[in-house]
Amino acid sequence: MSAVAQSTRGSTKGKPPKERGLHAGQGRQGLLLVAPTLVFLAIIIIYPLLRAIYLSFQKDEGLDPATKLFVSGGSAGLSNYTHWLLQKCGNVDCPPGTIGALFYDALWVTLFFTAVSVIIEVLLGIWFAMIMNRDFKGRGLVRAAILIPWAIPTAVTAKLWYFIFAYDGIANRLLGGVGISPRLWTSDPWSAKFAIIIADVWKTTPFMALLILAGLQLIPGDVYEAAQIDGASKWQTFVRITLPLVKVPLMVAVLFRTLDVLRIYDLPAILTQGAGGTTSLSMLVINQIRQGGFNNASALSTLVFLLIAFTAFLFIRFGGADVIQRPPSSKKKKDQEPAVGNPVAANATSMGA
């Protein structure tokens, strides 16, 4: 009987101790430490968001078209949203050229900017990151120099490219040197769009390259040496080793840039002033505010927020953009535990033998 008890006690001692979490005192202390930050974030983020959503369901102050009397607002229901989504100005369709009739044009332009800019920035960013990841003389100088466009404020970048794309600017002079007629870069529909894309790519590609470079530097050199020994070509090494191992930082960079372009404002506002059909959704919000439709603009800004939030959800849920870097979930590794079985039965069997 004593042997059975000793065997039972010995088997319990072999079990790993249970992990202990934070006790109540540590939890309260942690909450107190982060409380000021949570209050600050609630003031500058949550309150404006909730306020904008509330205003989006209110009427704007002004003259009532039916009674010709001044009204001080009140509940608008969904009329501010139907103004944009259904392009309704009151009970009639918004006339062509009005702000309400430009919603889907601005949405298409914003999505076009986002898709083309991000694709070009990803390709150039990977190329620049792989160059900067190599070991060569003057690598530090190259890494510092490539960040200069990103460090320049966007307003300065827009004005710089405005002079480059002027009718008698550098861009048309270079085109004239190869026999191409000058282009109206800031007013022609397609030229204006690509002028904005070129300026955006020039400024933000260094940011993309910097994030991808950080991921490349985490790849151990032994992996590339093993691929060389196995006879893998450079293309096979890039496709089967570099891209899979750099996927997480690459998708995070794509996520950040996508969300940034979806709310683009200052670059087209300064470079083209919306000419040539380059009005983005953020520009439409500002134009609506300037015309006194603050609550209508709140509804549009809420729609832009929902678009950005939905895009972020798709990237994080399905695109592998792990921006939080969660630790691996704790799994029960029953197969890794020693097969102890029933110690009582085992001991009884050995005694019987």
Question: Looking at residue 190, what is its pLDDT?
Answer: 92
Q: Fill in the DSSP letter of residue 20.
A: P
Sign of CA dihedral 321, 324, 327, 331: negative
Residues with Cβ within 8 Å of 300's Cβ and at least 6 positions away in sequence, in order, are 84, 103, 281, 284, 285, 288
Number of domains in the chain: 1
Position 65 in a domain: no
Question: Looking at residue 124, what is its pLDDT?
Answer: 94
Question: Looking at residue 17, what is its pLDDT?
Answer: 53
Terminal Cα-to-Cα distance of the chain (whole angstroms):
16
Position 28 in a domain: no
Position 202 in a domain: yes
At position 304, the amino acid (one-letter code) is V
Question: Looking at residue 280, what is its pLDDT?
Answer: 94
- Residue 3: count other Cβ atoms within 10 Å of its Cβ: 11
What's the whole-number average pLDDT of the chain? 82
The position carrying tokens 């005694």 is 351
Strands 62-63 and 70-71: antiparallel
Position 10 in a domain: no
Position 69 in a domain: no
Position 61 in a domain: no
How many angstroms separate the CA atoms of 126 and 121, rounded?
A: 8
Question: Looking at residue 197, what is its pLDDT?
Answer: 95
How many angstroms separate the CA atoms of 97 and 273, rounded?
A: 16
pLDDT beneath 70: ranges in the chain: 1-25, 63-71, 320-353
Question: Looking at residue 323, what is its pLDDT?
Answer: 57
**CATH value at residue 271:** 1.10.3720.10
Task: Say what the pTM is.
Answer: 0.78
How many angstroms separate the CA atoms of 89 and 29, rounded?
A: 54
Question: Looking at residue 249, what is its pLDDT?
Answer: 87
**Angle at the Cα of 282 (from 276 to 287), degrees rounded to 5?**
75
Position 67 in a domain: no
Residues with Cβ within 8 Å of 24's Cβ and at least 6 positions away in sequence, in order, are none
Question: Looking at residue 158, what is its pLDDT?
Answer: 94
How far, CA to CA in Å, does 291 sit from each of 60, 98, 115, 229, 286?
A: 11, 11, 30, 67, 9
Q: Which phi and psi angles does 9 have, rounded to 5°?
A: -65, -40
Position 157 in a domain: yes
For residue 52, which of 314, 312, 289, 255 has the smallest C-alpha distance? 289
pLDDT digits (tens, 9 = 90+) for 192-204: 999 999 999 999 9
Domain span at 109: 103-318
The position carrying tokens 């000793």 is 6
